[in-house]
Structure 1
């Protein structure tokens, strides 16, 4: 059997649920996605694709980028484990935040 290095799935946004916080400036939403029933998902689902992605998002731009009813590709690639080359450890994340601030 051939080893697959990545999987591409096509999902659509089925629900965007905004949550209220005590802090009026805090933004929090749960975005839920389900697979699209078309040929795009034949690589990972032989018949009717099943699944769900649910994300709790606190970044306003990320919430706005995932629009209700729209379709999106989701790419799954192996990620390096802690200690492996390319892994984002806490110092790398901290320096990235400094660069974008």
Structure 2
């Protein structure tokens, strides 16, 4: 079941930390950032396989810069996701 957070300001220079535990059937993980449901990151970005272990807690950090979102995964991999809309604040 997805977790949805509305009206949480995510501003340039901030780091968002997400923790969770994937259930035993989880095969993918999605984070969408935007100003509304119709205004999200627009294009999926994938690298590698499922980076989490089912049933084990994980933590990822997303750092917001003017050019990109730096997504740091538990295994040390950092994914560079472009800030395509070039906004300085997302809801």
The TM-score with structure 2 as length reference comes to: 0.25
Rg larger for = 1
Q: Higher RCO, 1 or 2 (CA under 8 Å, sep at least 6)?
A: 2
The TM-score with structure 1 as length reference comes to: 0.24
